Amino acid sequence: MISRNPCISNLKAGYLFPEIAKRRRAFAETHPEANIISLGVGNTTEPLLPHISRGLAEAARKLGAAEGYSGYSDEGLLALRERIAETFYKGHFSADEIFISDGAKCDIGRLQLLFGAKTKIAVQDPSYPVYVDGSVLTGAAGPWSGTGYQGIIYLPCTAENGYFPDMDLIPEHGLVYFCSPNNPTGAVATWKQLTALVKTSVEKGALIVFDAAYSEYIRDDQLPKSIFEIEGAKTCAIEVNSFSKSAGFTGVRLGWTAVPKRLAYAGGESIHADWARVCGTIFNGASNIAQAGGLAALEPEGLQEMRQLSDFYLGNAQLIRSALQKLGISCVGGDNSPYIWAKFPGRDSWEVFAEILEQCWVVTTPGAGFGPAGQSFIRFSAFGHRSDVEEACKRLEKLTR
């Protein structure tokens, strides 16, 4: 029979979220009376708001008539690319620098094809698992060494460094994944911090893949929402973003990647041209219905709805954060992000996860699943119905530590 890709064998058994789901199922089987509430995964729970929902429905209806039918849309609807360039980059990007995707996660996976297996990869520690797992799949990292993947440069983000890593660790000519607002810590990098990141990356010839999937949760207008607000970023960064958490499109699927035309590899070749080539080769464009939904989301009523939706989840975050603080648990995040990062000093995070599940019937995410520096932390997600979040907060009071 055919041999397995050795890179797949290098992946640690079980992606974090299926592992959590497995443990939740096992608990539910032995405790059928438990009415479990999840504050674990980052999946949206609230219905689409009316204007955006109408945009989707109308697009689906149009496809049913000869005059409204459309097929492949390749790099994405021009109107949507223009609207994204205008709304998120204030016109500093042209429409052809915006590539529409079926979501940020898919693009993060595809982007690695540009750099190959010899690239040095740095990630914030803790970080969204896809950066690391995707690097293992392309052969740029792995196997698992017990505390982390070989070949990955972990950039510890801790309370001591204000959740912003030491710039001396950025690898020369490497790839740096940077997420702000951060999943899982909820920390948002300041102007000064992102300026340091851009400056270091330019000096070291490193490329930043900036994940701005939670940028619409930023309420403090002193905080940058995009890496491209920082001077010089167009020579060293790519940005991925998504409608998943802002418009509730986790199931609809729509995102984009902004790639500056002037961005070049060490040999001077265009990264933009290669990205167009990769997308044209292995991606056939986002759903035209989803794109119409994205257009509706960027109209004034849609923008208001996205604000309303993210306000709702931020309201949940505040409830969780104050419930934890009342219990004397120190935590960060939740003010400009939907995640709360709670510290349980000296404890194993999978053990704390099990304790919260057993004592409170609440599913969370163990920090260790996001990287070595996540040990002793738990991530609480604010994605949930209000009544569930309120009930979960009440149950957390039962936690004996």
Residue 195 or 250 with smaller CB distance to ligand PLP: 250
250 touching ligand PLP, by CB under 6 A: yes
**Residue in 88, 99, 115, 128 binding ligand PLP, rule: CB under 6 A:** 128
Query: Tokens in use for 161?
Result: 């460094």
Is there a contact between 88 and 111 (Cβ–Cβ < 8 Å)? no
Toward ligand PLP, which CB reaches closer, 119 or 244?
A: 244
Q: Kindly tell me which of 97 and 211 has the beta carbon lying closer to ligand PLP.
A: 211
Residue from 20, 40, 42, 342 touching ligand PLP (CB under 6 A): that is 42
- Residue 208 binds to ligand PLP (criterion: CB under 6 A): no
State which of residues 76, 165, 248, 255 lies at the interface with ligand PLP (CB under 6 A): 255
* Single-letter amino acid code for the residue at 301: E
Q: Could you tell me which residues come within 8 angstroms of residue 309 by beta carbon, excluding any fewer than 6 positions away?
A: 46, 49, 246, 247, 248
Cβ proximity of 295 and 79 under 8 Å: yes
Within 10 angstroms of residue 39's Cβ, the number of other Cβ atoms is 26
User: Are residues 189 and 158 in contact, defined by beta-carbon separation less than 8 angstroms?
Assistant: no
Tokens for 246, please give them.
């802002």
Q: Does 337 bind ligand PLP (CB under 6 A)?
A: no
* Residue facing ligand PLP at closest CB distance: 103
Q: Which of 119, 180, 183, 288 binds ligand PLP (CB under 6 A)?
A: 183
User: Restricting to residues 62-121, which ones interact with ligand PLP according to CB under 6 A?
Assistant: 103-106
| Binding of residue 134 to ligand PLP (CB under 6 A) | no
Least Å from the CB of residue 99 to ligand PLP:
13
C-alpha 234/C-alpha 287 separation (Å) is 28
Maximum pairwise Cα distance, the chain: 64
Question: Which has the closest alpha carbon to 100: 277, 307, 287, 271?
Answer: 287
Q: Write out the binding residues for ligand PLP, residues 161-180 only, by CB under 6 A.
A: 179
Q: Among residues 17 and 89, whose Cβ is nearest to ligand PLP?
A: 17
**Distance, CA of 51 to CA of 218 (rounded, Å):** 23
| Rounded Cα gap, residues 117 and 138, in angstroms | 6
| Of 97, 133, 211, 305, the one binding ligand PLP by CB under 6 A | 211
- Name the residues that contact ligand PLP, by CB under 6 A: 42, 103-106, 128, 179, 183, 211, 213, 242, 244, 250, 255
